[in-house]
Amino acid sequence: MTADPAGHDAEQLIQAFTADRPTFETLREEVEYMLTTAVGEAGLKTDRIESRVKAPNSFRDKLRRKDYTDPLTDMPDIVGARVVCLFPSDLGIVDSIIRDTFDVLQCDDKAKESPPEMWRYVSVHYDCVIKGEHRGPRYDRIKNRVFEIQVRTILQHAWSTVEHYLAYKGANSIPSELRRDFSALVGLFHVADKSFQQIYNTSIELDEQARRNVHVLKLDSGDTFEPRATTDWLPIDRSTVKALCRELYPDWEPSPDSAYSEFAEELAGVGINRISQLETQLRKGRTEAESEGQQNSLRTFLDGTGESRYRDVELARKTLMLTVPRFRDQAKRRMEQNQSSKKFKRLGRPRRT
């Protein structure tokens, strides 16, 4: 018979853990759903939100290392969730989301435990329970169960994953031949995390600057475009393309930033390098679409009478296909390439027998 440090029968605890696993799975599902929903409602982009129930072997190992009065109740990470953020500034946003969504029993910031010269395991751990306001058969079984949420940046996650694999638990365990390399790597990861944050902040500033600069067109009461300032000096990039699309098509759904970036690359491919060029072609395309002799889907979508709606970039693309032959040809080639690629992938699949 084996026992944990508190004297419990380990095998009996394993059996109880296995019997209670459906409850832990229910808690895991609820925690991940509530986290994913709350993060989505906040409009925050993350690398991933994931969860798990501790495996029996992992549960057994922790019984040997830790002294719990009641392991099934007191072990905080039997159910664990993880939020991997893109930027350091997101950590504070997720902190507020967690505190609004759950009751936080304890918060442990691992970064504060690490000396500044050793950028080892860094993460914020929250021991939480479901808020008491949630009632009903589903919640009554799980709302007093403690679970853990880990929050870290994507670079902290990468470091944690590799560090766990290498199994170095501190500076003293690292061979002297590797300490210089570890020290250099610490600096690289630290600078990279800060640099990504700075790039993100600058990107937001450039989007706002472009929005102000491209605020040059409007729809008047007669539904025609009127230029209000020159845009000759504005180059095509993701920020300026995004700003122009939002200015021209405020009633259409905005596209993901990646779509504006892809559109900017397509424009450069046909020699449209200035916002003034794009503005001219989009106004020309709208005029053609609204002419009496022009019967096409663009007019239907512009009138808002279609069964579905384009996002702003798709509307801009469709407009350019009316006025810029090179853009239309490029779009046709891209479509043919995509179809060929899909056909090749289908041919490469093994037949089912």
Lookup: tokens for 18 = 């296995």
CA 72 to chain CA mean position, Å: 33
Least confident of 176-180, 223-227, 345-349: 223-227
Q: Please, what CATH class does the domain formed by 10-176 belong to?
A: alpha beta
Q: Which residues contact 161 (CB under 8 A, 6 or more apart)?
A: none
Q: Are 80 and 32 in contact (CB under 8 A)?
A: no
Cβ neighbour number for residue 264 with a 10 Å cutoff: 22
Q: What is the identity of the amino acid at 303?
A: D
Higher pLDDT, 338 or 271: 271
Indicate the domain borders of the chain: 10-176, 214-348
| Distance in angstroms (rounded) separating the CA atoms of residues 200 and 18 | 45
Inter-helix orientation angle 257-269/238-248, to 10°: 100
Higher pLDDT, 273 or 8: 273
> In this model, does residue 239 exceed pLDDT 50?
yes
| Distance in angstroms (rounded) separating the CA atoms of residues 127 and 147 | 6
The pLDDT value given to residue 348: 56
Q: Which of 8-12, 292-296, 304-308, 310-314 has the highest mean pLDDT?
A: 310-314
Q: Which residues contact 148 (CB under 8 A, 6 or more apart)?
A: 76, 77, 79, 80, 81, 125, 126, 127, 128
β-strand 147-153 against 102-109: which pairing, if any? Answer: unpaired
Q: Which helix (H) or strand (E) holds 51?
A: strand 46-53
Q: Are 178 and 166 in contact (CB under 8 A)?
A: no
Lookup: tokens for 22 = 């459906």
Nearest Cα to Cα of residue 278 among 245, 326, 239: 245
pLDDT per position as a tens digit, 55-95:
988 888 888 888 788 888 888 899 999 999 999 999 999 99
| Distance in angstroms (rounded) separating the CA atoms of residues 83 and 123 | 10
The pLDDT value given to residue 73: 84
